Structure 1
Amino acid sequence: MTYDADRVDEHSVDHVSELELLRDDSAKVTWVNIDGHGDRETFSQMGELFGLHALALEDVMNLHQRPKFEDYGETDFVVLRMPSMTPHLDLEQVSMFVGESFLITIQERPGDCFDALRDRIRKNKGQVRRRGSAYLAYSVLDAIVETFYPVIERYGDQLEELETRVLANATENVVPEIHAIRHDLRMLRRSIVPTREVLSAMARADAGDPQDNTHIFLRDCHDHTVQLLEALDTNRELASSLMDLHLSNVSMRMNEVMKVLTIIATIFIPLGFLAGLYGMNFDGHVSAWNMPELRWRYGYPFALGIMGLTAIGLVFFFRSKGWLGKGS
C-alpha cells in the first residue's frame, strides 16, 4: 500500500523485486505487510532494497522474541505481540521496520487487526494520509495495543462466571479453569510490560525531532498499556481470590465431614466401653461381684437400654452446644 494526501494505491506482490517500483516515489509512504516469514533469501533481498540491518532480519526469523525497540540509525526495528482468542489465547509475533518513508510489518500468518486502519487510509479519515511513516507506525502500534482490551475483558467475564459457580456450588472443582486463566494472564503480562517499555523508548526517541510530534501519540498509546496492566492485575487478583475462596470452601466442607465423623465416633466410644465391659463374662457363681447381670433375665435389654440412653444423651448434649444442628 502506497499513499499520500491525494492518492492511495494497493498492490499484492509475490516477489521482492516487484516492490522496487513502489520505492521510486519517496514522497509517498509505503506500507508493506508480509504474511508469513518466508525464507532467508527473501528477507535478504528485502534488506538490500530497504536498507534493513542484518541483525534485525535475524530477529524476524526468530519467533520467540521479547517485545523490543532497536534504533538502527535510518531504520527503527520493533517487535510486538498481537493477541487473539482462537478460541485459546494466541500471541502472534509482529515485526516492524520503520524508515523515513516506509513501514514494513511482518506477521506469522494472515489475519490481523489492521483492517480499520486500512479503511481509514482508503477513505482518507483521520491524520494518517497527511502524516509520515512514523505516524503510520504509531497507528499500527495503537491497533495492536487495542486488541488486548477485549482479550482481558473476556478473561474478566470468565472469572465473574467462575465466581458465580463457586458461590452456587462449593463442591464443583474449578481449579483447572482458574489455573488456565492465571497462566494466560501471566502470558499477557509478559507481553504488555515490555510493550509499555517499547512505547516509552519510541516516544523518547521521537521527542528529539522538533518537526514531528508523533511522540505525543506514542505517549497516549503508552498510557493505554498502563490501563491494560491495571485491568490485568485486577483480573489476576480476582483469580487469586477465587482460588482462595474455592480452597476455603473445600476446607469448610472437609471440616463439616470431619465434624460429623468425630461426633459419630464420640457417640460410639461409650457404647464400645459398655459392650467391652459386659463382654468380659466373669462367672457370677464365683463371686457376687462378678457380673450380677450375666444371669439376669433382663440383662441384655438392660445393657442395650443403657447404650441407647447414653447415645441419646450425647446427641442432646451436642445439640445444646450447637455442634449438631441448631442449639436447643
Structure 2
Amino acid sequence: MDKIARKIINLPKRLLVEEPLNLYSGVRGMFRDSHKRAGLPPGQPFYTGVRTDIPFSISVFSYSATDIIEKENISIEELKALSDSEKYLWVNIEGIHHVDEVKSICDFYEIHPLTMEDILSVEQRPQIDESENYLFIALKMLQFDQENRKTLGEQVSFILRENMVITFQEKKGDTFEAVRVRLRAGKGRIRNGGSDYLLYALIDTVVDNYFVVLEKFGDELEEIEERIMLEGRKRDFSMLYELKREMIHIRRSVWPLREVVSKLERDDIKLVKKSTRVYIRDVYDHTIQAIDSVETYRDFISSLSDLYQSVISNKLNEVMKTLTILSAIFIPLTFIAGVYGINFENVPEFSWDYGYAYFWGLIIVVGGLTGLIFKIKRWI
C-alpha cells in the first residue's frame, strides 16, 4: 500500500489534478478484489468493484401518459408494493455493492442468478441477454469530471420487463438527468411510448455522453499539439501516453456496444416494439460515429507522438548545428594559437614590436572570414 501511495505522490501535478486519463481506472483497479470470486459457484452474488460508503438507494418514477409520481430513497418493501401498479415504472438503484439488497430485489422480480452475477461483476464487456420474462443489458457509462478534469466510468445494468425498467448503478451520479426532465415535463413520446422507449431514451443518453467525453479529449489533444509545436516538453509526451491508455479504455467500452445496439435493433425481442426499433437505429448510428471518433483520436494521438519526436529531433539538430558551426569557426583559430604557442626561439613574429596585435588581428580576420563563408552558404 505504501509503495502505491508513493507512486501516486510522485506523479506530476498535471497528471493528478488536470489530467484524468487512465489514472482513475488504473488506481481503481489496484483495489478491486475480483480474484476473490475465483472458485465460487455460478450465480453466486459477489460484487467485483470498489466497495465504498455510498448508501443503498432506490428511486422510482411511476408514470402514465397523464400523471407521474416520483419517489426517492424508498425501501425495498415500498418498491414491491409499487410493482402492482398498472403504470410504467423506472426503478433506479444506486450502491450495488450492497449485495444482500440487490439479491432481494432480483429474487422478487425473478431475475436469474447468472444475470444477477453479471450485474455485480462490473468489469464486463457491454452485453445483451434475453430471458423469458425480461431483457438484460449491461454497458459502460462515461462521464467527464469538469472540476478535476478527468474521465469517470462505471457499469450500468438495465433490466427491461413488461411496463418496467430497472437500472443498477455503482454510485450516485449519472447521465440520465435529461430523461428525468423529459419525464417530469411529459413532452414527447417518453410517457406513452412504453418501457422499451424509456430503455431507448436511457441508452441514448449514455451514448450521447460519449461525444461529450470525446470532445474533451479533442480539446486536450489540440492544446497538446499547440504546446508541442511551441515547446515540445517531456510532460506533453507523458500526457499523450496517459491519453492513449484512456482512449483504449474508452474503445473497450464503445466497440462492444455496437453489437448490443445492433442486436437490440434487429433481433426479434418480444419486449421491444417495432415502433421503438426506429429510434434504436438512430442510437446505432450514434454508436458508429462514436467508434469513428475514437479511432480518429487514436490516430491523432499516434501522430502527435510522432510530431513530438520530430520536434525533439529538430531541436537536437539545431543544437548540433550550432555546436558544429562554433567548432568549425574555432578549429582554424585553435590551429593559429597552437602554431604561436610552440617553444622555438627563432620565430620572427616573436621579435616584432606589434606581434601581439598581429596575432589578434589574424585571429579576428580568420574567424570573421569563416563566419562570412557560413553566412554566404546560408548555414547560419
Normalised by the size of structure 1, how large is the TM-score?
Answer: 0.86
Counterpart of 2:189 in structure 1: which amino acid? Answer: Q
User: Which residue does 2:363 correspond to in 1?
Assistant: 307
Contact 1:207–1:215 (Cα < 8 Å) also in 2: no
Q: Deviations over 1:16-40 (max 9, x none)?
A: 2222212223x43221101111422
- Report the Cα offset of residue 79 of structure 1: 1.2
User: For 1:232-257, what per-residue CA distance to the aligned partner results, in whole angstroms no more than 9, with x for missing partners?
Assistant: 33333333333333332332222222
Q: Which amino acid aligns with 1:305?
A: G
Q: Does 1:162 align with 2:162?
A: no
Instruction: Specify the alignment match of 1:103 in structure 2.
Output: 165
Matched-pair contact (CA < 8 Å) for 2:139–2:155: yes
1:9-20 to 2 correspondence within 5 Å?
A: 9-20=69-80
- Per the alignment, residue 29 of structure 2 pairs with none
Alignment match, 2:329: 267
Matched, 1:134 2:196: yes
Select the residue among 36, 44, 53 that pairs with 2:95.
36
Which residue of the partner structure matches residue 21 of structure 1?
81
Query: Does the 8 A contact of 1:128 with 1:135 survive in 2?
Result: yes
Please report how far the alpha carbon of residue 321 of structure 1 lies from its aligned counterpart in structure 2 after TM superposition: 0.3
What is residue 58 of structure 1 aligned with on the other side?
Answer: 117
User: What are the equivalent positions in structure 2 for 1:167-182 lying under 5 Å apart?
Assistant: 167=229, 169-170=230-231, 172=233, 174-182=236-244
1:46 Cα deviation after fit: 1.2
Between the aligned partners of 2:195 and 2:295, the Cα distance in structure 1 is 34
The CA deviation at 1:210 is 9.3
Matches within 5 A, 1:251-266: 251-266=313-328
Find the aligned partners of 1:210 and 1:195 in 2 and give their Cα distance: 18
Aligned AA (2:63): Y
Identity of counterpart residues, as a percentage?
A: 36
> Is the alpha carbon distance of 1:278 and 1:102 closer, same or farther for their aligned partners in structure 2, counting shifts above 3 Å?
same
1:282 equivalent in structure 2: 344
Contact 1:170 1:246 in 2 (8 A): no
Distance 2:99 2:191 in 1: 32
Give the structure, 1 or 2, with the largest relative contact order (CA under 8 Å, sep 6 or more). 2
- Determine if contact 1:170/1:250 at 8 Å carries over to the other structure: no
Q: Does 1:77 align with 2:133?
A: no
Shift of the 215–48 alpha-carbon distance from structure 1 to 2, 3 Å rule, reads same
**Structure 2 runs not aligned, ≥5 long:** 1-60
Q: Deviations over 1:218-240 (max 9, x none)?
A: 22101101112223333333333
Aligned residues: CA RMSD = 2.4
Match of 1:293? 349
Shift in CA distance, 207/34, structure 1 to aligned 2, threshold 3 Å: closer
- Give the Å deviation of 1:5: 2.9
Unaligned runs of 5+ in 1: 285-290
Secondary structure at 2:274 match in 1:
coil
CA distance in 1, matches of 2:263, 2:274: 16
The AA in structure 1 aligned to 2:192 is R
C-alpha displacement at 1:96, in angstroms? 1.1
* Number of equivalenced pairs: 316
Mark the CA change 1:211 to 1:31 in structure 2 (over 3 Å): closer, same or farther: closer
Partner of 1:190: 252
Q: Is 1:48 aligned to 2:107, yes or no?
A: yes
